[in-house]
Amino acid sequence: MTDVRDLLARVSTTAPNGRPIYDAATGELIAHAPVEGVDALDAAVARARAAQAAWEALGHDRRIECLLNAADALDSRAEELARLLSREQGKPLNGPNARFELGACSAWLRTNASLVLEPEVLVDDGETHAELTYRAAGVVGAIGPWNWPLMIAIWQVAPALRMGNTVVLKPSGNTPLSVLAMVDVLNEALPPDVLVAVSGGRDVGARLASHPEVDKVMFTGSTATGRRIIESSAGNLARLTLELGGNDAGIVLPGTDAKAIADDLFWGAFINTGQTCAALKRLYVHDSVYEDVVDALAEVALRTPMGNGLDENNVLGPLQNKQQFDIVNRLVEDAKSRGARIVTGGSPATELGELFYPVTLVADIEDGAALVDEEQFGPALPIIRYADVDDAIASANRLDVGLGGSVWANNREEARVVASRIEAGTVWINSHGGVHPLIPFGGVKGSGYGLEFGIEGLKAVAVPRVING
């Protein structure tokens, strides 16, 4: 069987025809990714459209078999793909990172294969029998991000294929190689043209969102880009699932045991070095436990190794790209200028590499600071002191985002009362950011709309049909 070196040879191109992709930790050239244009995208959509009817006609059992075979193929190449992902994206092999991401891809494929969307009897009164059923939407356009490029691609691909759709997938220009390699592996188990990847720039993404032969668009990324996709899709009325930016708030209630929650708090904020849409990005801590929480988080930060992801000892890596590095650096510098207290980190870790920024805990900062109000998407966490729980809830809800939130407390019932008042698609209790393939996930406000995962995720990539009579 081929390995990733062979896969890279099949999915990469030669200079100067492609885009150079560099190791995020070392800056070394990995390979050149293809840069395809709108014509290639149009051809991919035509292929997917031609293949869709036969794929749907295979029926549920045969599609389930194909998805399970695809998961087996992915498992057989998981280590090689994880190493490529680690280099391209920057995340370490160990911890909740590259190997974890490949495991999640397999889990989502297998879980979606096991799901059954049964017809729902709406009325059966002796005179009328009405059932709600679902059929494939058609061709799904999937546009993925660079932070979890493989896992989020599978979040889009797995339910779409399960329901009988074909998929045209556009990976991020920052992390195309690992996605193209994964698609190549998956296609060993799938019929031709059921899943087609096109590596290109913004023009390709815009065309995919507006293409008249695309029936459904799934996008994970920034709110600004999501708004443009909504505008682009207006002409063809494509159905949309948008998982957009977030600035998730966590609230630590009075009397909470700081040491008991410190590790979960830390990873809620700093999984993937903070580059996660539903990471904890601003933390409100009651005055009674404020310094205890700050100290406990600092202890975890100081014992958590950061460095090259291929080093088995590291669990934190670099920022994936210079643009994101500059955003984190700017926000921390602004916090310093406001007199905020830098507890750990606070300046680039140039000794590790150009894109490394250490875990930075910023205390004694308030709402209105850029680090609090803007999504940092990196390893810097503002910790805001509060005295009244109502004020903390108001602060958590004041921004036009609502992907996730969390409440931390010794008493879970008290936490649930507060959680019910937070404006977010998901609110976690004593954890943050964990997702499950059977639990629906999606945002509110500027964080997008539409649900993924589980039965609701299948419905999102299908078209409802009522049979009445």
Contacts of 212 (CB under 8 A, 6+ apart): 235, 236
Angle of helix 176-186 versus helix 149-162 axis, rounded to 10: 30
Q: Residue 200: which of 18, 468, 23, 66 has the closest Cα? A: 18
CATH of 4-244+447-468 among 3.20.20.70, 2.40.50.140, 3.20.20.80, 3.40.605.10: 3.40.605.10
pTM of the predicted model, to two decimals? 0.96
Give catalytic residues, as residue numbers: 243, 277
SS3 at position 33: strand
Residue ranges per structural domain of the chain: 4-244+447-468, 248-429
Encode the chain (469 residues) as per-residue pLDDT tens digits: 456 788 888 899 988 889 999 999 999 999 999 999 999 999 999 999 999 999 999 999 999 999 999 999 999 999 999 999 999 999 999 999 999 999 999 999 999 999 999 999 999 999 999 999 999 999 999 999 999 999 999 999 999 999 999 999 999 999 999 999 999 999 999 999 999 999 999 999 999 999 999 999 999 999 999 999 999 999 989 999 999 999 999 999 999 999 999 999 999 999 999 999 999 999 999 999 999 999 999 999 999 999 999 999 999 999 999 999 999 999 999 999 999 999 999 999 999 999 999 999 999 999 999 999 999 999 999 999 999 999 999 999 999 999 999 999 999 999 999 999 999 999 999 999 999 999 999 999 999 999 999 999 999 999 999 999 8
Third-level CATH fold of 248-429: Aldehyde Dehydrogenase; Chain A, domain 2 (3.40.309)
How many other CB atoms are there within 10 angstroms of residue 416's CB atom? 13
Reading the block at residue 366, the tokens are 């308030």
**What sections of 131-251 are H helices per DSSP?**
149-162, 176-186, 202-210, 223-233
